[in-house]
Amino acid sequence: MIKISDYVTPAHHILNQYEFSPIEKLMIQKIDSSPKIYHYTSFAQFKFELTLRVNIIDAAKALNKSRLKFKTFGEAMCNPKYWILTDEGGFKLRGDVEASDAIIDIFMNGYKYGTECSTAIVIVFYKAVLSTLGPTLFNEYFSNLYLMDWKNIDDDLGIRSYQNERFYFPGDCRYFDNPDVSSRTPYWQGENVIDLGYDLYYGHGIGIKSADKMIYILNKFRKKDATVSAYLTGTVVRLNFRHLFNLYQAL
């Protein structure tokens, strides 16, 4: 259910009053169909979340086309014009460049970069926030970027992880687990993906596929005589949309 200010607001009421894109309409219908109440302090905050979710989806599609290579942390690579490659395989922002320019370069010159799937998701999130907040505000709040994994994100990104979540929305990060992965390919023990809606998911190294196709591909990397199939878990990672909205309002 959707609660805006102090009122539960049915999806049809929102859809009849404002113009939305098809993917935004899908988001609204999915949020509305959940028995959980999703509370927004204002319509502006609600619309901000929809916009940011759309930008997450657009960033995932753009990264899929960027020629970003799939590499383990030990093989990671980045453009030294914008980033310093650390011993751990992360990308540390250079002190003489803008964060917004460095993020955009990954999408413009993806062939100069290589990393694994969790870092790719973090890159998607940063690009979506950049598109939503604009470069001035983004550079103010994200001037010390370090791209590697969930443990190294900026606090202002506000990533939150939920286990055993029952309700998912386009723009969420979800996870395919591959418990019987082969010891020869441990990096395919799972795949972090962005939910694009319409049963499509973006995962770095696999591309944009349906859930069944994601599972089919991961199952190719199971150990001999494996008995457990890869599967889509109930783990969800989301941005703190309300916190980011507050940053946006502070502009």
Specify the pTM.
0.96
Question: What is the reported pLDDT for 241?
Answer: 96
Question: What is the reported pLDDT for 21?
Answer: 96
Phi, psi of 168 (to 5 degrees): -130, 150
**What DSSP character marks residue 185?**
-
Q: Which residues pair with 195 in a beta bridge?
A: 201
Question: What is the reported pLDDT for 149?
Answer: 84
CA atoms of 120 and 59, how far apart (whole Å): 10
Question: What is the reported pLDDT for 7?
Answer: 86
CA atoms of 27 and 199, how far apart (whole Å): 13
Long-range contacts of 210-217 (CB under 8 A, 24+ apart): 211/176, 214/176, 215/176
Question: What is the reported pLDDT for 74?
Answer: 95
Phi, psi of 7 (to 5 degrees): -125, 130
CA atoms of 186 and 202, how far apart (whole Å): 20
CA atoms of 239 and 232, how far apart (whole Å): 20
Q: Are 149 and 118 in contact (CB under 8 A)?
A: yes
Helix (H, G, I), strand (E, B) or coil at 140: helix
CA atoms of 153 and 142, how far apart (whole Å): 10
Which residues of the chain register pLDDT less than 70?
A: 251
CA atoms of 113 and 109, how far apart (whole Å): 8
Question: What is the reported pLDDT for 114?
Answer: 98
The structure tokens listed for 186 are: 């441990």
Three-state SS across 170-195? CCCEEEEECCCECCCCHHHCEEEEEE
Which amino acid would we find at residue 219?
N
173-191 pLDDT tens trace:
999 999 999 999 999 999 9
Give the distance, in angstroms, between the CA of residue 33 and the centroid of all CA atoms in the same chain. Answer: 23
Phi, psi of 98 (to 5 degrees): -85, 140
Tell which residue, 204, 180, 188, 190, has the closest CA to residue 63: 204
